[in-house]
Amino acid sequence: MPKDDPYYIHRVESGNDCTVQYCLDFFNKRLRVDDYRGDARSVLKRASEIAIDNALTKVFIKSREQDWQSFLSSGCMLEGIYKGYFNGHDAYCMAIYFSLERRTSDYWMEEDQILGQVLALPPKPDRPRLPEGCSLRIAAENDARPLAALYAQTFRTYPTPMDDSRYIEQAVREGTIFYVIEADGRPVSAASAEINAMYRNAEITDCATVPAYRNKGLMRLLVHALENELNRRGILCAYSLTRALSFGMNAVFFRMGYRYCGRLTKNCDIYDKFEDMNLWVKQF
């Protein structure tokens, strides 16, 4: 992909028997169908054609309940369920692959062991105390540069260009909520909530903490703050995709009452490779 190409291209296509709203995600070599209308088999056929034409190796579709079995019988696999995604009704994550390397998980058994350890933890829904010398606040557009520096320090690669301050500025302008914890005037931990106002759901994402401030409950503080804001805005469910190899982030969401709802194989390029992502969901 040329350097000056966008990370994402959003398009809507309408045909005789379906309409497909999708995202060409070149960085992660996948096509994401965010919404659709019409015949499920026609949606899958068109999405697959677009993916192959653009050398993308994975398609995943957020299917409505009445359609997921049609996608399944057409060759898709069910990877997870976004509980309450469509205004309180479930969305089914249906995936199809176009390369064996992309389909094959390299760490599935290790991820199962990590998940088992997480699910054995006691719940911890209480709001932790903010460490001395730290402050918590909602972020604004002028925080984009220090936030980009935080993400660049935390991740070697990431599914979205969070090390680009212009990308963060645009996300804030378009309604993504960022909360940040600062120490000595610089951000040491941050997380965001990307809101889908039409379907009243939100993805909690972009979770990052510098090494010196980990294991202090900062991410739980940030998620609490984001949830309060989402509740205020009438959001019905929140979800997050966490690295299946990360004990810490999976533990954060499980202990805060999120439900494990599936694992998406090699879903995105994060840290230094394509990784499996666990889906966690909480309905408000």
What's the confidence (pLDDT) of residue 69?
98
Mean pLDDT to the nearest integer, 196-210: 97
Mean pLDDT of 132-148: 96
- Quickly list H helices, 54-189: 68-73, 100-103, 108-119, 144-154, 165-173
pLDDT, residue 4, reads: 41
The whole-number pLDDT of residue 156 equals 75
- How far apart CA 123 and CA 33 sit, in angstroms, is 34
Predicted pLDDT of residue 6? 60
Tokens of 220: 């739980």
pLDDT the model gives residue 5: 45
Q: What is the pTM of this model?
A: 0.94
**Spatial CA neighbour of 281 closest among 246, 253, 243:** 253
pLDDT higher than threshold 70 for residue 223: yes
Which whole number is the average pLDDT over 7-19?
92
- Tokens representing residue 228 in the block: 């309060």
For residue 282, what are the CA distances in angstroms to 235, 253, 255? 11, 9, 11
In tens, the pLDDT along 243-262 reads 999 999 999 999 999 999 99
What per-residue string of b and e applies to 83-120 under the rule 16 or more CB within 10 Å gives b? bbbbeeebbbbbbbbbeeebeebeeeeebeebbeebee
CA atoms within 13 A on the CB side of 251: 14
- Domains annotated for the chain, with CATH where assigned, are 8-103 (3.40.630.30), 108-283 (3.40.630.30)
From 196, 276, 191, 284, select the one nearest 242 (Cα to Cα): 276
Residue type, 111: E
